[in-house]
């Protein structure tokens, strides 16, 4: 496979770590005296979850979900299914859903509906990147690190064909 060079750096490692530090202080304050379950949607938010939770001082558990979009060749629409569900019970517990990017909001809406069915005490959303230009579904984002430009990006967990996740910055990538 021939990959093109990475484009302009959008967010540096320093910018990302500074913003995570700020967001983690907000989360610590909001959940003071409460125990939290941080849930990451694999694989993209793994790096973000790790750095975010290392900054938190409140008691917490960590769990993971994994989803996959399956396309229907007859209708050209995607169907989202869980490929890994939670190991921990979230019933009556405070949940923070940690996402890498929120675009259209459709997949996130599906995930939130699934989590809310388990009747958590609260459910808040924390995202590394918000792309409101793509939004189709209204989503209440409680913690947002960055609003991103409407470009395809890689790095810091975000990939192109499972590559570039390990970059410690976020950069533009031209797929064509």
Best CA proximity match to 152, nearest among 79, 98, 101, 99 = 101
Tallying the residues shown for the chain, one arrives at: 176
Question: Once rounded to an integer, what is the mean pLDDT over residues 48-63?
Answer: 97
Specify whether the CB–CB gap between 112 and 97 falls below 8 A. yes
Backbone angles phi and psi of 87, in degrees to 5: -95, -30
Question: Once rounded to an integer, what is the mean pLDDT over residues 61-65?
Answer: 97
Specify whether the CB–CB gap between 144 and 15 falls below 8 A. no
Cα-based torsion angle of the residue sequence 157, 136, 36, 93 in order, rounded to the nearest 10 degrees: -140
Instruction: For residue 69, name the pLDDT band (cuts at 50, 70, 90).
Output: confident
Q: Is the pLDDT of residue 130 over 70?
A: yes
Q: What is the pLDDT of residue 72?
A: 55
What is the C-alpha to C-alpha distance for residues 25 and 21, in angstroms, rounded to an integer?
A: 6
Q: What is the pLDDT of residue 79?
A: 75
Residue percentage of the chain with pLDDT more than 70: 94
Q: What is the pLDDT of residue 84?
A: 94
Specify whether the CB–CB gap between 81 and 23 falls below 8 A. no
Rounded to an integer, what is the distance from CA 66 to the centroid of its chain?
11
Domain boundaries, the chain: 9-26+43-172
CATH number of 9-26+43-172: 3.40.50.2020
Question: Once rounded to an integer, what is the mean pLDDT over residues 59-70?
Answer: 91
Q: Is the pLDDT of residue 74 over 60?
A: no
Question: Once rounded to an integer, what is the mean pLDDT over residues 11-30?
Answer: 98
Q: What is the pLDDT of residue 77?
A: 56
């Amino acid at each position: 496979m021939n990959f093109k060079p990475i484009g302009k750096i959008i967010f540096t490692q320093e910018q990302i770590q500074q913003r995570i530090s700020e967001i983690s202080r907000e989360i610590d304050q909001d959940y003071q005296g409460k125990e939290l379950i941080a849930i990451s949607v694999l694989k993209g938010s793994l790096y973000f979850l790790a750095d975010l939770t290392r900054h938190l001082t409140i008691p917490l558990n960590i769990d993971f979900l994994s989803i996959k979009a399956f396309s229907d060749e007859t209708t050209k629409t995607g169907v989202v299914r869980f490929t890994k569900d939670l190991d921990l019970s979230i019933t009556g517990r405070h949940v923070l859903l940690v996402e890498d990017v929120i675009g259209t909001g459709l997949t996130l809406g599906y995930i939130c509906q699934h989590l809310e069915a388990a009747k958590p005490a609260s459910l808040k959303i924390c995202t590394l990147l918000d792309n409101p230009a793509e939004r189709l579904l209204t989503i209440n984002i409680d913690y947002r690190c960055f609003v991103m430009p409407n470009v395809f990006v890689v790095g810091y967990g975000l990939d192109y064909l499972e590559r570039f996740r390990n970059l410690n910055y976020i950069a533009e990538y031209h797929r064509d």
